[in-house]
């Protein structure tokens, strides 16, 4: 995490051009101190007897960064919100003793907020001892979901949009559990995100209503409720409905396939839109694939070739590809292909192939005493009228509609 400490050293108002000049001068001084002596300088200092003196080469120690680059924990705590009416992504930093806003973000705010900027004669200090220039202090309004606040921010050159430090965390009673993907602020539970704005945990909802027979399990299609999710994650049960824990890679439209179980002695009906579990994103680097022996690789290759040799009807190819994302292994892929081939006749081949049924009778419930609205049809232009007539005749020929008397 970023650490920032203020030093009470007078530097004058840190204008942007002064900061750049200071950094250039500092770099030149360091360069002068570290360079080797030239030949005339060596002659002037030591005489001709030391002209062949060679200074030892400066060798930097070789440091192995392999172990330090491994992530010992999850991503940092970020919260999406607004500052000055502009969307921003805040980093929650317990090691920062002030609230910071980037100069890039501050430049995007309305002029009314820029006029409130007060000069700052101090600077910050990072964890490595380097200085962090401060451009000024301003009182800015902000928002985190349903919580509004107004805090003092220091404008500085940081990479994040903003940093909420200890003044904000202490004043608003922030509670953080590093094992949970949420943060509690003023008794409000807020889901945290990573630095790319992706939620660490998302709800998984059922796409269509299903009925699971008694004491059985069923593979159902679900979707992730939000769009900013991790490309790979773990699906776990999040309620009373038993759900098989699985590693999933959602489709581009957020759909995934999960396995639900009904332990009851009676059928279990789950309505569409019901939340059945939670999707927790994980980094791809955290996935460890087990080593596969040569004999196992040969068996997997044979199964893949067998699946490819199967003929899945053309109108079910997209269904097969979408459902394959939820298959655990190649064996399930093969079973899926066999199932689609066996029942291919119950799937429509085109948009017009809707079929008919006498098992269900459609009805439109109306309020008692309601009267239909009567109004003349809208006139169409010649081209639209010709297109409407063509579509009507096409639907008549396919038996999807029938002539009606009266309007």
Domain boundaries, the chain: 1-47+73-194, 201-286, 294-346
Using alpha carbons only, give the angle 321, 323, 326 rounded to the nearest 5 degrees.
120
d(CA 87, CA 79): 11
pLDDT of residue 253: 84
Mean pLDDT of 317-343: 82
pLDDT of residue 140: 94
1-47+73-194: CATH topology is Cathepsin D, subunit A; domain 1 (2.40.70)
d(CA 224, CA 233): 11
Question: What is the token pair recorded at 42?
Answer: 């060596």
Q: pTM score, two decimals?
A: 0.46
Assess contact for 166 and 173: CB atoms under 8 A.
no
Partners of 270 in the beta sheet? 210
**Chain segment 116-132, per-residue pLDDT in tens:** 899 888 888 888 888 88
Res 18 pLDDT > 90: no
Least confident of 159-168, 192-201, 294-303: 294-303
Using alpha carbons only, give the angle 337, 229, 200 rounded to the nearest 5 degrees.
125
Give strand ranges (E) for 98-181.
Answer: 100-102, 123-125, 131-144, 147-156, 162-164, 175-176
Res 97 pLDDT > 80: yes
d(CA 87, CA 142): 10
Sign of torsion, CA 141 169 196 282? negative
Closest CA to 108 of 91, 132, 83: 83
d(CA 261, CA 212): 8
3-state secondary structure of 40: helix
Residue 25's pLDDT band (cuts 50, 70, 90): low
Residue 265's pLDDT band (cuts 50, 70, 90): confident
pLDDT of residue 4: 43
Q: Give Cα separations from 89 to 98, 105, 119, 159, 258 (angstroms).
A: 17, 10, 25, 11, 32
Mean pLDDT of 194-220: 84
Sign of torsion, CA 8 10 13 14? negative
pLDDT of residue 163: 93
Question: What is the token pair recorded at 47?
Answer: 């005489």
Say which residues have a Cβ less than 8 Å from residue 159's Cβ, sequence separation at least 6. Answer: 102
Question: What is the token pair recorded at 208?
Answer: 């269509």
pLDDT of residue 47: 53
Mean pLDDT of 257-268: 87
Assess contact for 186 and 220: CB atoms under 8 A.
no
201-286: CATH topology is Deoxyuridine 5'-Triphosphate Nucleotidohydrolase; Chain A (2.70.40)
Closest CA to 16 of 152, 163, 134, 138: 134
Closest CA to 91 of 165, 167, 154, 180: 165
Mean pLDDT of the chain: 76
DSSP state of 118: B
Question: What is the token pair recorded at 185?
Answer: 């602020």
3-state secondary structure of 301: helix
Least confident of 26-35, 183-192, 225-234, 352-361: 26-35
Question: What is the token pair recorded at 316?
Answer: 């079910």
End-to-end CA gap in the chain: 71
Question: What is the token pair recorded at 313?
Answer: 């009807």
d(CA 207, CA 225): 10
Res 110 pLDDT > 80: yes
Closest CA to 108 of 85, 132, 133: 85
Res 137 pLDDT > 90: yes
Mean pLDDT of 61-80: 55
Res 67 pLDDT > 50: no
d(CA 207, CA 326): 15
d(CA 89, CA 108): 14
CB neighbours (10 Å) of residue 331?
12
Assess contact for 235 and 204: CB atoms under 8 A.
yes
Least confident of 92-96, 108-112, 340-344: 340-344
Residue 404's pLDDT band (cuts 50, 70, 90): confident
Question: What is the token pair recorded at 395?
Answer: 């639907």
If you compute the radius of gyration of the chain from its CA atoms, what whole number of angstroms results? Answer: 33
């Amino acid at each position: 995490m970023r650490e920032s400490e203020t030093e009470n050293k007078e530097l004058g108002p840190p204008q942007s051009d002064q900061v750049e000049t200071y950094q250039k001068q500092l770099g030149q001084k360091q360069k002068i101190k570290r360079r080797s002596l030239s030949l005339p300088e060596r002659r002037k200092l030591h005489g001709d007897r030391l002209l062949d003196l060679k200074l030892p080469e400066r060798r930097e120690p070789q440091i192995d960064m392999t172990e330090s680059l491994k992530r010992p924990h999850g991503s940092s705590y970020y919260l999406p919100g607004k500052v000055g009416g502009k969307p921003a992504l805040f980093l929650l930093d317990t090691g920062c003793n002030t609230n910071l806003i980037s100069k890039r973000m501050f430049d995007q705010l309305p002029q009314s907020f820029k006029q409130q900027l007060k000069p700052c004669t101090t600077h910050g200090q990072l964890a490595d001892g380097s200085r962090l220039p401060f451009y000024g202090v301003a009182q800015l309004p902000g928002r985190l979901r349903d919580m509004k606040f107004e805090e003092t921010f220091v404008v500085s050159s940081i990479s994040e949009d903003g940093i909420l430090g200890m003044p904000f965390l202490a004043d608003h009673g922030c509670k953080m559990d590093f094992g949970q993907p949420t943060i509690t602020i003023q008794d409000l539970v807020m889901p945290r995100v990573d630095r790319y704005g992706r939620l660490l945990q998302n709800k998984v909802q059922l796409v269509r209503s299903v009925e699971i027979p008694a004491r059985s399990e069923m593979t159902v299609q679900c979707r992730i409720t939000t769009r900013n999710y991790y490309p790979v994650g773990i699906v776990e049960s999040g309620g009373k409905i038993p759900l098989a824990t699985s590693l999933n890679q959602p489709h581009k439209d957020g759909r995934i396939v999960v396995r639900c179980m009904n332990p009851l002695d009676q059928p279990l009906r789950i309505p569409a839109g019901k939340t059945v579990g939670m999707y927790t994103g994980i980094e791809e680097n955290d996935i460890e694939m087990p080593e596969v022996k040569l004999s196992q690789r040969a068996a997997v290759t044979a199964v893949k070739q067998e699946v490819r040799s199967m003929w899945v009807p053309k109108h079910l190819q997209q269904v097969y590809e979408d459902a394959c994302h939820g298959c655990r292994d190649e064996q399930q892929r093969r079973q899926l292909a066999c199932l689609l081939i066996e029942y291919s006749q119950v799937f429509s081949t085109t948009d017009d192939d809707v079929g008919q049924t006498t098992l269900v009778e459609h009805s439109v419930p109306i309020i008692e005493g309601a009267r239909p609205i009567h109004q003349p049809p809208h006139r169409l232009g010649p081209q639209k009228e010709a297109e409407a007539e063509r579509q009507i005749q096409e639907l008549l020929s396919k038996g999807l509609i029938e002539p009606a008397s009266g309007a």
